[in-house]
Structure 1
Amino acid sequence: MRQVSSESPAIFDFIETLVEQSNVTSAELAAFLKYSAMLLCNLGNFYGEGDQKFVPDLTAEALRKIAAISPKTKASLEKIIDRLIAVPPFSLGYPGKNTQSFYYLGDELVSQDEVNRVSEVMNKRSIGPENTRIRKVVQGRKTILQLLQASAELGPASNQSDELAEGILLVRGDHSDELAQVCSALKKAREHAGNSKQTAFLTHFIECCRTGSLQAFQESQKAWVTDISARVENIIGFIEPYRDPAGIRSEWKAMIGIADPDETSRLKHFVDSSVNGGKGPFEKSLFEAPDFTSVHALAVCGSIVFEAANLPNYEYIRETYGFKNIVLANRLSVNNNPNLPCYWVDPSELEDFKASTHVVRFITTAIHELIRHGSGKLLSEIKPGTYDFDKQNPPTNPLSGEAVTSHYLPSQTWTSVFGKLAGTVEECRAILMSEYLMDNKELLGIFGYTNTGDITANNLLYCTYMNIGVDGLQALEHYNSKDQSWGQVHHQAHFSILKHLLQDGDGVIDIAHDTTNRTLTVHVDRSKILSHGKPTLAQYLCRLHIWRCTADVSSCRKFYEPMCAVDGVWKFVQPNTVIRGDNVDVKVYEASNEEIIRSWVERDI
């Protein structure tokens, strides 16, 4: 929670100290409980998906009535009430007028230039960013940028100066109290390790939590990926950089799950069917079959309960030691809840859609994690003069028909080159692959679906394209129109895919807008799925894949950012009412930035 906002831990403590007796109405109590549950589910007062801030549907007066049950709760509320109900900030992002990020804190706002300056120093000093934050301290006319590193230990390490560069200091001990408890618990866990690989994993990870060393964390991941078919599976650490506006600092995430042997057996069959001897210059020479486990999550710590994971995120570990795919079966089963609303499907198709969509989600998730996140070769200069491809006869770029002209330089990585784009482009690449392969009868047969059962392979393919429309529309909930940014990389990717199909799919998907009933409905033309839908997905997928393999970030940005732009038909402009004599006319505006501004000007507020 401390990575989300300064007030999140204090709000949590405030909720924990309350009792049911308070002088409030039932409606006020219900609103407070709803807010409390929302904060606990998201581990902070910003949505885990979308990063939008949420506030209680209560007045400050009602909150003070609730807090009046004891001097402790009253004092706790007064410390946080202004930040608790304040809007803006509207969402997470680089610190500014409308956004905030508690990865960047201090006496004054941390600028993007200052973030970049610290990153340059970190690269020179070989300090990884995942478990760090930046704090800006102003001392008179002097500004100090402190790089906070998460560790149980305090003070500089014995072999390291705390001054990284002029005006930039390394400060260890961020989250020290919590990490000291983590170390203590993991030492007890190590006593019950099932094998030497688990012991090695725990030993290295304890060192990471104690010292802040990301080298120790990487060693723990090397041991973790070799612990195949663990009965009790875990994910723990500063893992994903989704919430950092710079795309490099990671949120703490943890999961403990118990393996499901039946589902894991199906996934193992899927893995075994995927092994191959290489598929050209933009793929690895050998697809290393990963461990693929279906677990029932016993406990999850994080801002969202994720459906699946493909880890570790270090490419060199994946290529050398392997990787793991983990599906959270009991999280995915939530999609099979018949009571979940679906606003974008025609009532005549709703029953069939709900019967198939949870199957589509499970299979596409399996494809997403195994084939796409596990695929692709990054053409690289490994060290000066040494390449992992034939530099004298470079492969042909299928997008241009000419030899590739770009590659990764020594010490460059996929994330360092693509920056903020890396997360969403990689998720888009994975989603596209899963949707592209959903007409493969052999693949669907592995999971027991043919054209003879109650849910046929053809039904699943149709439902896949319906889901493209549904997911693309739902994604708009996570778009911040004020600063024109996306709060979640998966939703950004879903929207771009829908937009691409609408533009280039020749009507395979259509969104019907009923202005009278204020509804949007997804329609899919079955006759165009294979003839138009699949080639359109293939075109998009090929572009992202080649740009990623060749470090061509400029081409990727030029194409992908407009594809994610919410403009034109995606903008909603409220009309105005105009009195003309005895009549009231409705004035409708075009969906453009200029007309949005005009509509507000003409309201004469």
Structure 2
Amino acid sequence: MASNRARAPDQASPVHRLAIKPLFDSLPPRDKLYAHYLSQAAWKGARIILRQTSLESEAIFNFIIEAYRACEGEWSQFEEVCAVTGDEVKAFLSYAGLFLYNLGNFYGEGGQKFVPDLRKESLEKIVGCVGMTGSAAENLVEGMTAVTPQNTGYPSDTAVSSYYLGDRITRTEIKEVQLYMQEEGVEPENTRVRKTIHKGNAVFDILQTSTQTGNSKLTTAAQLGGPRFRRMKGDHQDEISTISAHLQRASMYAQNQNQKAVLDCHMYSFNTGDLREYRRGQEIWVKDKSPSIEHILGFVETYRDPHGVRAEWEGVVCIADPEETKKMEVFVASAAKFCTLLPWATAENEGKGLFEKDVVVIPQFAIVHALTMCCPYVWEASNLPNYNDIRETHGSKNMIIANRMSVNCNSSGASLYLQPQDRELYRQNLHTIRFVATVIHELLGHGTGKLLSETAPGIFNFDATNPPIDPLTGQTVASCYHPNETYWSVFEDIANSVEECRAILMSAYLIDKIEILAIFGYDEISALTADDMVYLSYLHLGVEVLRSLEHYNPDDKKWTQAHSQGYFAIFKHLLIEGNGILTVHHDPNTSELHVTVDSTKILTDGKPALGRLMCALHIWRCTANVEACRPFYENLASVEGVYETWRSVVATKPEQRPKFVQGNTLLKKNGEVEYREYEESDEGIIRSWAERGPL
């Protein structure tokens, strides 16, 4: 059985420039300064991400930058000085480029570990040439070449998570820490946990990111066997202090008072570690409508915490594209009525039903170009903030990263799992398919739903004396969220995947609606017809599922990527309940693997099957019914039998993962800001990081 072993980076992996120079150059000087200081703050979080990825990542980062400086970017010097071959230097550069793109030695998307594709002896020579010797050199080489742990996940013999340090922690202990934090009113996003043994008892230090320092007393929990919990401020202190200093400078060039207020909230939260002020900043951020410079800064996404509650640093700065954004205003204006088309819609609440908010606050929508993305990978779109109470009362923002999405036009592996008759049409229109799907996914997928909650003791956001009827059981709903509970704290490790699965389903379920496709310009007479779009969208489901199987680890039977798990759950559901709408063709002799769609069954079988699954996930999410959701979803996402056979085929044909090289903003002596681009190569990626200054 093939497994997800640590693998060497593909030297042929394409490197793409996150192109934005003309747009940046067109900004007025004040906006350039605002974007520059925001970008400086974003990049200063790189070391936080490195520490959140693995214990060895920060040392590997330092080594790569020192290697660049040792040869001043003339990498061929290593051939003679270190007595290694040109191919070995290329292999090292490929590893270094991939490492810097992912900000760690585990893929940001998928969580698998990767190692250099060169002999250990050759790597040791390069390390020696940079001036490292002794135990430091030995530890560095071991950290770069060790094939275990193989992936990120709950700490085990094969998986690691740098959100959980010290002695190995169990899932039960993580839940105990979570309960303690809920009781104390401490949110987990900006924390890590370190377990130690003290006088025979486990002690859990909750490390809270802040510039302030200080420890609380050990909290005694007699029923758990003695002293257990201690809060410790000051995690990532140096980086957070520098980030705040850059935000202070950025505030001088903010475009309005809302932007200043957001940065003030960020700085206060970063200083104290108190996320309540960060939440307040998010409320204000949502009110800053259609800014020309947009940003996301803080501990945002919880994808890589196996427990799904602790978040990764994310520093993103974007420039708006108002002309492209304007084209989507019709969709945003019409989005609320589309809620009446969903499977849980009933006559109440103006046709939306009781599992939607009284007033559906459709996310603001913007097409932007990324100037800076200090993240473990360059993603295509985002819908924030992740705090559901803010989304329900203040709204949210959706951003499509146009200069990332455009790269889909050049995807070489896009049609690998299609038969010849479908391949070319799919390749030609992949960018369009993904764009339309992403808009629906973000605006309606993540923008719909009302979490039935007891917001304070005895106070509910629904009629608790006459609860809604659960469409899955025909009975009144029997559960809801209690005070201090969130969707993520209740659904834990499956929360992200269930939410992404629900959003993917939304775009697939609504893609046949003529009124939606017309907004994007597709009808029966367009070059790419509406029927073509529907057919290609179902093909896309199949393609994405087979591609996603690379993100399943058969050794511990875990998915390493939330979207991939969601895609697979949908696919398996369609194979079971779709009456042959999707078929996978596998030739064991040639290892060919293809997916086909029966277009005659899209509306009669495919759409109803998608609706049933979407309705179940939506209602369980709205009612905090994790007891029903977990066994169903985990079973649906399990990979066994023929699915494992397909996964084994996919594992033998790993796709080339793209890497992105980003530019730098530089403050010149005359006070002007310059944008510097780099070549589309591993050397360009390394140089870009070396020229970002001390991190």
CA deviation after TM superposition for structure 1 residue 341, in Å: 4.8
Distance 1:37 1:74, change over 3 A: farther
Q: 2: distance between equivalents of 1:410 and 1:124?
A: 10
Q: 2: distance between equivalents of 1:125 and 1:404?
A: 29
Alignment of 1:134-283 (within 5 A): 134-139=193-198, 141=200, 143-156=202-215, 161-165=216-220, 166-276=227-337, 277=350, 279-283=352-356
Letter in 2 for 1:268: E
Corresponding residue for residue 52 of structure 2: 3
Indicate conservation of the 8 Å contact 2:550/2:647, yes or no.
no
Q: Determine helix, strand or coil for the equivalent of 1:3.
A: helix
Q: Which one scores higher on RCO, CA 8 angstroms, separation ≥ 6?
A: 2
Alignment of 1:476-515 (within 5 A): 476-515=549-588
Alignment of 1:538-557 (within 5 A): 538-557=611-630
Letter in 2 for 1:295: V
Q: 2: distance between equivalents of 1:85 and 1:206?
A: 39
Indicate conservation of the 8 Å contact 1:14/1:76, yes or no.
no
* Correspondence for 1:89 among 149, 167, 170: 149
* Correspondence for 1:118 among 177, 180, 183: 177
Alignment of 1:315-354 (within 5 A): 315-337=388-410, 339-354=412-427
Indicate conservation of the 8 Å contact 1:278/1:286, yes or no.
no
Letter in 1 for 2:152: L
Q: 2: distance between equivalents of 1:185 and 1:232?
A: 16
CA deviation after TM superposition for structure 1 residue 289, in Å: 3.1
1:378 partnered with 2:451: yes
Aligned identity (percent) is 45
Q: 2: distance between equivalents of 1:162 and 1:278?
A: 53
Q: 2: distance between equivalents of 1:294 and 1:574?
A: 35
**Structure 2 length-normalised TM:** 0.80
Corresponding residue for residue 635 of structure 2: 562
Deviations 1:437-493, CA, capped at 9 Å, x for gaps = 111111111112222122111111111000110011111000011000010110000
Corresponding residue for residue 69 of structure 1: 129
Indicate conservation of the 8 Å contact 2:549/2:647, yes or no.
no
Letter in 2 for 1:99: A
CA deviation after TM superposition for structure 1 residue 140, in Å: 5.7
Q: 2: distance between equivalents of 1:9 and 1:501?
A: 43
Q: 2: distance between equivalents of 1:474 and 1:416?
A: 30
Q: 2: distance between equivalents of 1:518 and 1:24?
A: 37
Letter in 1 for 2:189: E
* Correspondence for 1:16 among 56, 61, 65: 65
The number of aligned residues is: 570
1:471 partnered with 2:548: no
* Correspondence for 1:25 among 82, 85, 92: 85
**Structure 1 length-normalised TM:** 0.91
Q: 1: distance between equivalents of 2:364 and 2:451?
A: 22
* Correspondence for 2:105 among 33, 39, 45: 45
Indicate conservation of the 8 Å contact 1:379/1:407, yes or no.
yes
CA deviation after TM superposition for structure 1 residue 116, in Å: 2.0
Corresponding residue for residue 309 of structure 1: 382
Corresponding residue for residue 505 of structure 2: 432
Q: Determine helix, strand or coil for the equivalent of 2:182.
A: helix
Distance 1:574 1:130, change over 3 A: closer
Q: 2: distance between equivalents of 1:170 and 1:434?
A: 42
Gaps of 5+ in 1: 576-605
Alignment of 1:390-429 (within 5 A): 390-429=463-502
Gaps of 5+ in 2: 1-49, 221-226, 338-349, 649-695
Indicate conservation of the 8 Å contact 1:462/1:524, yes or no.
yes
CA deviation after TM superposition for structure 1 residue 386, in Å: 2.6
Corresponding residue for residue 140 of structure 2: 80
Q: 2: distance between equivalents of 1:39 and 1:162?
A: 39
CA deviation after TM superposition for structure 1 residue 283, in Å: 0.8
Distance 1:192 1:75, change over 3 A: farther
CA deviation after TM superposition for structure 1 residue 56, in Å: 1.0
Q: 2: distance between equivalents of 1:574 and 1:175?
A: 39
Distance 1:65 1:366, change over 3 A: same
Indicate conservation of the 8 Å contact 2:149/2:158, yes or no.
yes
* Correspondence for 2:191 among 132, 155, 158: 132
Indicate conservation of the 8 Å contact 2:266/2:278, yes or no.
yes
Corresponding residue for residue 599 of structure 1: none
Indicate conservation of the 8 Å contact 1:164/1:170, yes or no.
no
CA deviation after TM superposition for structure 1 residue 97, in Å: 0.8
Indicate conservation of the 8 Å contact 2:546/2:647, yes or no.
no
Indicate conservation of the 8 Å contact 1:5/1:102, yes or no.
yes
1:441 partnered with 2:514: yes
Indicate conservation of the 8 Å contact 1:10/1:76, yes or no.
no
Distance 1:341 1:557, change over 3 A: closer
Deviations 1:26-47, CA, capped at 9 Å, x for gaps = 1211111111111111110001
CA deviation after TM superposition for structure 1 residue 265, in Å: 0.8
Distance 1:213 1:457, change over 3 A: same
Deviations 1:379-434, CA, capped at 9 Å, x for gaps = 22223333222223222211122222222223322112211111111110100011
CA deviation after TM superposition for structure 1 residue 574, in Å: 12
